[in-house]
Amino acid sequence: TDFPKTFPQDFLWGGATAANQIEGAFDIDGKGLTTAEVVKKATDRKTFTMSSVTKDSIQAAIADPGVANYPKRRGIDFYHHYEEDIKLFSEMGFKAFRLSIAWARIFPTGLEETPNEKGLAFYDKVFATCKKYNIEPVVTISHYEMPLELTLKYNGWASREVIQHFTRYTKVLFERYRGIVKYWMTFNEINAASMGFGGTGAIDAELSEKEMLNLRYQALHHQFIASALAVKQLHELDSNAKIGCMLARMQTYPATPDPADVRAAQANDQFNLFFTDVQVRGQYPNFMNRFFKEHEITLDFAPEDTTILAEGKVDYLSFSYYMSTISSAKDTTDQALGNFALGQPNPYLETSDWGWQIDPIGLRIALNEMWDRYQVPLFIVENGLGALDELTSDGKIHDDYRINYLRKHIEQMKLAIGDGVELMGYTTWGPIDLISASTSEMSKRYGFIYVDQDDEGNGTLKRIRKDSFYWYQQVIASNGENL
């Protein structure tokens, strides 16, 4: 037998980002305003501001042309630093760089018939730079943003109309980057659709609960269809490329061995895997019928939808993993534990500066569970520690806490590979400090590379290698042996 296994030779080590959290340059070269760029900076560390957008807050955002209140408009100016940044990734030995394309750079309102050449030219240059350093681009087609005009005109994914505009966008990408991009994924953390605006681009904050749920699950259904159509389209246009789905994985444990708690945890876990059930298996799982019934959700299914889903099964399953959660049958008063992790605190786990529960063994459990369930290659496309870093007087950042976090997770990945899990790669979240998705803070740093910018946008934007930079470099050089 080939046990104990270790990382395969072609393992995709790297880092992951999103356009709206790094690019900046939000209004140049023809780019349109996006849904991410109307979300205000949070006033505290717990509020998920991406969900609380209203018609009025959007109008106020449109009237405000600045970047001060909307940090995702400025990012870390990757738009003008991409050469330097990708060079730094290559210095660490990256095999893969996950990034997303801003739909509104390619179709500024989403409605145009022909793409914006200047937008495409930017990604041409980014991919050419990746190629120069032998780095595989791993591309998310929609990462928590869409052209704002699609929200104004259709209320985002709530409308089926958006599917055709998305399909026009994906066709342009697949044709332009045939032979250049080998790994695609459709929607970042597709389960975020159940959290509202950030995922769906649909304004729903002022609806009744029943209306809101109906809208969110209908929007999600449209995303499932759009995603399945993109899978089919890519397979037809570029048979060498692979396309995956992307889930925010929340591993759930029972609060006690009481069978009622075990069942509560199972139900939560099933709910988390519902999204990948649709995208990997090509149909809605039966257990969702109860959820839809109990919440009075009625989905509009077009006659062709069942076939579209069945024909649009993904090639691999990618996911983010930051934390686990616990469920109890008795105490259902969930607390917010992370971006959209609801659950209860686990006394066995430590938490990050932002209260996220750190659980490396949970990653091994998640990998095994998903491999057993789906038998498709898995790809960890986000994992990491958001922390307050200090630039010390020696001009360095001694982030041993980040190294410890990542080391423990990589150890568990290796064990999971020994368990027989097929794992394609690992791209840590935010290899370079970027704007936080949930709070738009800059001070929540994930990077191996420090960016000199504060929460107000002050700073030189200088890039500085942290201690973890050199550590990750040796991890990759030893293919995960030297941790």
Q: Where on the phi/psi map is residue 189: left (φ > 0), alpha (ψ -120 to 50), or beta? A: left
Q: Are 419 and 370 in contact (CB under 8 A)?
A: no
CB-nearer residue toward ligand BG6: 75 or 93: 75
Number of residues that bind ligand BG6 (CB under 6 A): 15
Q: In angstroms, what CA-CA distances link 466 with 216, 431, 448, 450, 473? A: 41, 11, 5, 6, 11
Among 315, 382, 389, 433, binds ligand BG6 (CB under 6 A): 382
Side-chain-side CA neighbours of 12 within 13 Å: the count stands at 25
Give the integer Cα–Cα distance in Å for 194 and 204: 11
Instruction: Point out which span in 210-218, 308-316, 436-444, 459-467 binds ligand BG6 (CB under 6 A).
Output: 436-444
CB-nearer residue toward ligand BG6: 73 or 444: 444
Among 14, 24, 115, 386, binds ligand BG6 (CB under 6 A): 386
DSSP states along 253-273 = EESSS-HHHHHHHHHHHHHHH
Q: Does 468 bind ligand BG6 (CB under 6 A)?
A: no
Q: Does 436 bind ligand BG6 (CB under 6 A)?
A: yes
Q: Are 341 and 272 in contact (CB under 8 A)?
A: no
- Sign of dihedral through CA atoms 189, 192, 194, 199? negative
Clarify whether 382 is annotated catalytic: yes
Instruction: Point out which span in 75-83, 226-234, 265-273, 434-442 binds ligand BG6 (CB under 6 A).
Output: 434-442
Q: Does 437 bind ligand BG6 (CB under 6 A)?
A: yes
Each residue 186-225 as x (binds ligand BG6 by CB under 6 A) or -, in order, gives: --xx------------------------------------
Q: Does 248 bind ligand BG6 (CB under 6 A)?
A: yes
Instruction: Give min distance, CB of 436 to ligand BG6, in A.
Output: 4
Name the residue among 142, 123, 141, 120 with its Cα closest to residue 131.
123
Q: Does 320 bind ligand BG6 (CB under 6 A)?
A: yes
Q: Does 403 bind ligand BG6 (CB under 6 A)?
A: no
CB-nearer residue toward ligand BG6: 136 or 145: 145
Q: Does 444 bind ligand BG6 (CB under 6 A)?
A: yes
**What's the length of the chain?**
483
CB-nearer residue toward ligand BG6: 81 or 444: 444
Q: Which phi and psi angles does 342 have, rounded to 5°? A: -105, 145
Give the integer Cα–Cα distance in Å for 245 and 188: 8
CB-nearer residue toward ligand BG6: 72 or 165: 72
Give the integer Cα–Cα distance in Å for 448 and 267: 37
Q: Does 140 bind ligand BG6 (CB under 6 A)?
A: no
Q: Which of 209, 382, 411, 456 is catalytic?
A: 382
Q: Are 22 and 434 in contact (CB under 8 A)?
A: yes
Give the integer Cα–Cα distance in Å for 378 and 381: 9
CB-nearer residue toward ligand BG6: 187 or 284: 187
Using CB under 6 A, list all residues that contact ligand BG6: 18, 21, 144, 188-189, 248, 320, 339, 382, 386, 429, 436-438, 444
Q: Which amino acids are annotated catalytic? A: 382
